[in-house]
Structure 1
């Protein structure tokens, strides 16, 4: 562990270099780039948009070090990395057509596809669209250096749908010389992964290029997938005051079959099956996405710096749903989407003093937009049929923000900020018939999100903090598309607002650290389903949704050589409806019903031991309590407990370092449901997880 630093009596001041509020630079230390499981990640930027130690951050935040050489998993899914991170639920649905389910403190649990309620970023570039819906499938985990997970009120300063923030950071190119890495691996259910990374440069110019592929036959019938990804990063530093980072990303998923959900009886009879509609309509999704961006960081003076980002991209998607959609009032069973998106932001950071103590603040503006050409067609047994939907959807968000850290006493900091946001959704309907009236319209949402907190550096090994803030989440374009009865748009749907508070403690000493946080959040106008008509789901607002709980995270290393390491993450979450309402089936949801998709208790733990430096053996354990699948709380996935085994061995051949690894997941071959499809209209809520399976791989680094 690093020695604690901060504004303590008799100690030197904490040195902080403040970054950009919405676009922190890729702050990658060489030690982090070569970190392994024994390292406790130290640097974060997400909480205060500043480079600082995780221990000193004024909020609940995890920094997960990623070593693409010595990771004991294929690094395809974020769920591989978050086992011991409390407060976040990342459910691998074993369905690459629908992406992961990601929720932070219960925010995002309602999503049936994509990610909602949680903001996603890669090297500061948003992976969440202006309407609040994001995709985690494009994360470049095979070349990541760390993942940061921000929970609580300070996430609200990221704007719309900030129940939490997940940021993936990739390393900068080497400042001298050349580096290379190659990997391959295979496992159960036809899994195969391969990738390569090349990088080189000097102190003025450097670049990295990585490419990888992953394919699987799938655990269930009709769940095969293939993915390809290419990422490039160029960093130029023409002067000591200016740094320019260029990024390019290409993602292709030409195959992602969707086995659809199962009823409880179907899942109990054969968890690997796909229902007949999956094969009849060839359910699945094809995706291609291209994105490029540039970041400019310029130091004006010793105290002032400017940061600028500009990015843009395109996404093409074809999705075949599990019904024909032939009815005149239907939107069709095939979705065809052509999206363009982009954005820009500018921020000014100033470091100064007040009463002889540090005061640092950042202020800026940003704008992001997207435009979808959306078509719907009849699904004629897997083939494209007649047109049923033709519209242009647009979303834009504009924000102005300011944030400060003020050391008012050697042992006290006041932290705070405010963000003013405007989000505009627009639908231009070009398919107008007697059965499908004009759905065109516009809706605009405004919100001001203040956050205020305090940090007490009680001791060099102990920090205490408290925060209070307010945030909001607009409905997505998908959620405003249809009004009650499946006709007309629902642009009168309100944005959800929330009040969040937390108190926390961070302790670290002697190779161990402990984080504890208590949180409470009240939401008004939460978005929930209202009705489903011919595949057209409409939504409504309900009040009084409550999320409260406890997070506990612990990590430690033992012995003179730290051969034994262990970690644990536990979350208690009480998420429920505070007021009754009528659901999509016309039934009354009672006040006090649990929020579907949330587990009251979640636990993740791991232990790793190195008999000698080159060899590692480890055990992982994961447990979730019961998860309800519907608002009525009549359907639920039982709780489960599974154990995984892993091992890895490092050796050298000449100048090449090699790492061979293997893992067995679900050693006891338990049957369980890793995820549920919340409020699935046909009652097929359950997505079974695999039984016992293995993965082995080999990586080489030069």
Structure 2
């Protein structure tokens, strides 16, 4: 629950193609750059997320996927990131049918414990961090209706981006077009889903801009789960002089309604999956959010060998959330959370490319600084209306980071890639609500870490790369997790950051119209953060050792026949995530060594097949299979495994100068009843969030 204070075994990679890599240096400290993968057609294969310079994804020194997004011809409404990531192995992206809590996003089991927002995975949108300095992120504000690609980096190299353990997810929108364009989109579906949007843009060789706005509404699959969203996005790209590129970004996100149906017990979910518990309507549970953000990115080419890049951004976020309890007790934080947040940051990086013995060597180095300030209050929830004050404090988080990285082709068939990042994260709580029942919770904490990573890649033949990586990870507690100390007094700023040692070995093969990638990984974590107790809405966390995540990822995509008439794709993940050491949980029970990490499935499979009976018509079938997912550390509650099938179709056509795209999809065609997501360690035993039965969505887009 956003803002609510109450509320195995793994490894990593490296690679190269010199000429591509050195031709264009892109977003270093801010993000990664272009990329693509096989979807329903072959697209350019370029990414920059790892070496921070443009290179082929096939040669990238890590497990990385780049998912192309066609704003006109993607057969999906483009509301949630989970729509676009099923063919990325190692990633669990679950839409919860609950827009008050955001989607669940985990990479290799990192982030699976989060009950709201995104933890353990670092998020960027157009080079601007969507993860706050304390490690909490939000994916809901991303602009997918005008996206061009999503890059997902898994494993140790993610640590070079800062406070994240499992991976980096980066979303990019396209540059403004050189000629005037306009696009309109609309669609509707089951459970009162409706969306509409418009995009306009244009420019010339010196400057261009694009503006898009969209709205989305739904009645919700479950009772008391309606939501409304509105978003406005603007992007201006200018190249005033040769060698200088300036990008201006603005995003406004407004979610005036997002009801929260709360979780269900297993018996409730089996008996009536659409229901909301009575507490949801009694306390009017839900969330409203308004966020405005702006940023500027500058790329300056100094010479053929040197480039500088800068990032500056800032924003505000207003959030009000009604929780499923009153919080009337004097020692409680209250059942209503109200946050006024301001945040921002800056970064700079330098890139230098040279040669050694006639072979390429790329150096990168950079600094970044980010900060946030929350004016946080809590009130009694008097059956859906605001009551007495129960919390008043100012929370601050700040991070400083410095990194250096090299990418050295020391032999025509071998590359060595390495780097190191030094990070400092500071948390501060200034408590303004001090009573006999609620003593002073003020305090500060500072966390320091150095995260090195080293990898090697061998180009065995032109079509086969083999790589291996080792590195150390770092993840701090969030402000929510340090809010309350054991015994219900003070803060928990003695909570330690989680650290991990990760490694990976992988292979990448590509042939004519075919691509196959596999990786095995292993990670062991120290000081993993888990619940210790929960009293009067005050959640207290503790550190435990010996958490392991290990697994296998397999991805395969291919196209066949004239005009790529047939297409196939498969993503399989085997994940063994478990507690290596026993510990006492929030209920005082002993969690046994070997218990599975809640929120993780041991087996996950997504497969698709597409067919083009004619050039402009594409038909597709999808299959998703997932193993059972435990909901608590004791492994006494779990969501059973399931298999579902989806159908989709998309048709491109023209009317005069106008390009049109009509699409439709039917999800869960067998009307299978299953649990789509779990609320890990939910203190009231309401762990389960049912997924919809059979549902449809149809849409129409036009572009000129």
Residue 6 of structure 1: CA displacement?
A: 6.4
Range with greater deviation from structure 2 (298-307 or 14-23): 14-23
Larger RCO, structures 1/2 (Cα 8 Å, 6+ apart): 2
Residue 424 of structure 1 is matched in structure 2 by 426
Residue 353 of structure 1: CA displacement?
A: 1.0
Residue 376 of structure 2 is matched in structure 1 by 374
1:21 is the counterpart of 2:24: no
The partner residue of 1:88 within 68, 91, 94 is 91
Residue 24 of structure 1: CA displacement?
A: 4.1
- C-alpha separation in 1, matches of 2:500 and 2:126: 27
- C-alpha separation in 2, matches of 1:116 and 1:233: 28
Greater than 3 Å deviation, 4+ residue runs: 5-8, 12-16, 24-28
Residue 127 of structure 2 is matched in structure 1 by 124
- Pair 1:204–1:156, CA change in 2 (3 A): same
Residue 310 of structure 1: CA displacement?
A: 0.2
Whether the 8 Å CA contact 1:26–1:172 is kept in 2: the answer is no
Whether the 8 Å CA contact 1:281–1:324 is kept in 2: the answer is yes
Whether the 8 Å CA contact 1:20–1:348 is kept in 2: the answer is no
Residue 39 of structure 1: CA displacement?
A: 2.4
1:50 is the counterpart of 2:57: no
- Pair 1:13–1:612, CA change in 2 (3 A): closer
Residue 445 of structure 1: CA displacement?
A: 0.1
Whether the 8 Å CA contact 1:418–1:451 is kept in 2: the answer is yes
Residue 553 of structure 1 is matched in structure 2 by 555
1:105-124 matches, within 5 Å, as 105-124=108-127
1:478 is the counterpart of 2:480: yes
Residue 286 of structure 1 is matched in structure 2 by 288
Residue 68 of structure 1: CA displacement?
A: 1.2
Residue 442 of structure 1: CA displacement?
A: 0.3
Residue 163 of structure 1: CA displacement?
A: 1.5
- C-alpha separation in 1, matches of 2:79 and 2:387: 34
Task: Encode CA deviations 1:128-181: one digit per residue, 9 max, x unaligned.
Answer: 00000000000111100000000011011111123110000100001x211111
Partner secondary structure for residue 114 of structure 1: coil
Whether the 8 Å CA contact 2:215–2:230 is kept in 1: the answer is yes
- Pair 1:58–1:618, CA change in 2 (3 A): same
Task: Encode CA deviations 1:82-112: one digit per residue, 9 max, x unaligned.
Answer: 1111000001100000001100000000000
Whether the 8 Å CA contact 1:121–1:168 is kept in 2: the answer is yes
Residue 36 of structure 1: CA displacement?
A: 6.7
Residue 488 of structure 1: CA displacement?
A: 1.2
- Pair 1:357–1:85, CA change in 2 (3 A): same
Partner secondary structure for residue 18 of structure 1: coil
Residue 26 of structure 1: CA displacement?
A: 5.1
- Pair 1:71–1:433, CA change in 2 (3 A): same
Residue 504 of structure 1 is matched in structure 2 by 506
Partner secondary structure for residue 491 of structure 1: coil
- C-alpha separation in 1, matches of 2:613 and 2:22: 38
The partner residue of 1:320 within 319, 322, 326 is 322
Residue 568 of structure 1: CA displacement?
A: 0.3
Partner secondary structure for residue 49 of structure 1: coil
Instruction: Give the gaps of 5 or more residues in structure 1.
Output: none
Range with greater deviation from structure 2 (47-56 or 128-137): 47-56
1:598-609 matches, within 5 Å, as 598-609=600-611
1:389 is the counterpart of 2:396: no
- C-alpha separation in 1, matches of 2:129 and 2:645: 35
* Matched length: 690
- C-alpha separation in 1, matches of 2:127 and 2:686: 37
- C-alpha separation in 2, matches of 1:20 and 1:448: 22
1:601-640 matches, within 5 Å, as 601-640=603-642
- C-alpha separation in 2, matches of 1:451 and 1:84: 27
- C-alpha separation in 2, matches of 1:13 and 1:306: 19
Partner secondary structure for residue 562 of structure 2: coil
- Pair 1:553–1:27, CA change in 2 (3 A): closer
1:127-142 matches, within 5 Å, as 127-142=130-145
Task: Encode CA deviations 1:520-548: one digit per residue, 9 max, x unaligned.
Answer: 00000000000000011000000000000
1:157-196 matches, within 5 Å, as 157-174=160-177, 176-196=178-198
- C-alpha separation in 2, matches of 1:162 and 1:499: 10
Task: Encode CA deviations 1:636-692: one digit per residue, 9 max, x unaligned.
Answer: 000000000000111111000101110000000000011000000000000000000
1:144 is the counterpart of 2:163: no
Range with greater deviation from structure 2 (483-492 or 309-318): 483-492
- Pair 1:540–1:7, CA change in 2 (3 A): closer
- C-alpha separation in 1, matches of 2:563 and 2:684: 56
- Pair 1:49–1:652, CA change in 2 (3 A): same
Whether the 8 Å CA contact 1:7–1:457 is kept in 2: the answer is no
- C-alpha separation in 1, matches of 2:621 and 2:250: 37
Whether the 8 Å CA contact 1:41–1:65 is kept in 2: the answer is no
Residue 486 of structure 1: CA displacement?
A: 2.4
Residue 62 of structure 1: CA displacement?
A: 0.4
Residue 296 of structure 1 is matched in structure 2 by 298
Whether the 8 Å CA contact 1:673–1:687 is kept in 2: the answer is yes
TM-score normalized by the length of structure 1: 0.97
Residue 699 of structure 1 is matched in structure 2 by 701
Residue 50 of structure 1: CA displacement?
A: 1.7
Residue 41 of structure 1: CA displacement?
A: 5.0
Residue 525 of structure 1 is matched in structure 2 by 527
Instruction: Give the gaps of 5 or more residues in structure 2.
Output: 1-14
- C-alpha separation in 2, matches of 1:538 and 1:628: 21
1:653 is the counterpart of 2:671: no
The partner residue of 1:311 within 310, 313, 318 is 313
Residue 203 of structure 1 is matched in structure 2 by 205
- C-alpha separation in 1, matches of 2:487 and 2:146: 47
Whether the 8 Å CA contact 1:218–1:225 is kept in 2: the answer is yes
1:56-95 matches, within 5 Å, as 56-95=59-98
Residue 10 of structure 2 is matched in structure 1 by none
- C-alpha separation in 2, matches of 1:493 and 1:162: 17
Task: Encode CA deviations 1:400-435: one digit per residue, 9 max, x unaligned.
Answer: 101110010010000000000000000000000000
Whether the 8 Å CA contact 1:594–1:633 is kept in 2: the answer is yes
Residue 27 of structure 1: CA displacement?
A: 3.9
Residue 234 of structure 1 is matched in structure 2 by 236
Task: Encode CA deviations 1:202-246: one digit per residue, 9 max, x unaligned.
Answer: 000100000011100000000000000000000110112100000
Whether the 8 Å CA contact 1:20–1:362 is kept in 2: the answer is no
Whether the 8 Å CA contact 2:258–2:288 is kept in 1: the answer is yes
Partner secondary structure for residue 159 of structure 2: helix
The partner residue of 1:448 within 447, 450, 458 is 450
Task: Encode CA deviations 1:301-353: one digit per residue, 9 max, x unaligned.
Answer: 11011000100000000000000000001000000000000000011110111
Residue 471 of structure 1: CA displacement?
A: 1.2
- C-alpha separation in 2, matches of 1:496 and 1:552: 28
Residue 337 of structure 2 is matched in structure 1 by 335
Residue 490 of structure 1 is matched in structure 2 by 492
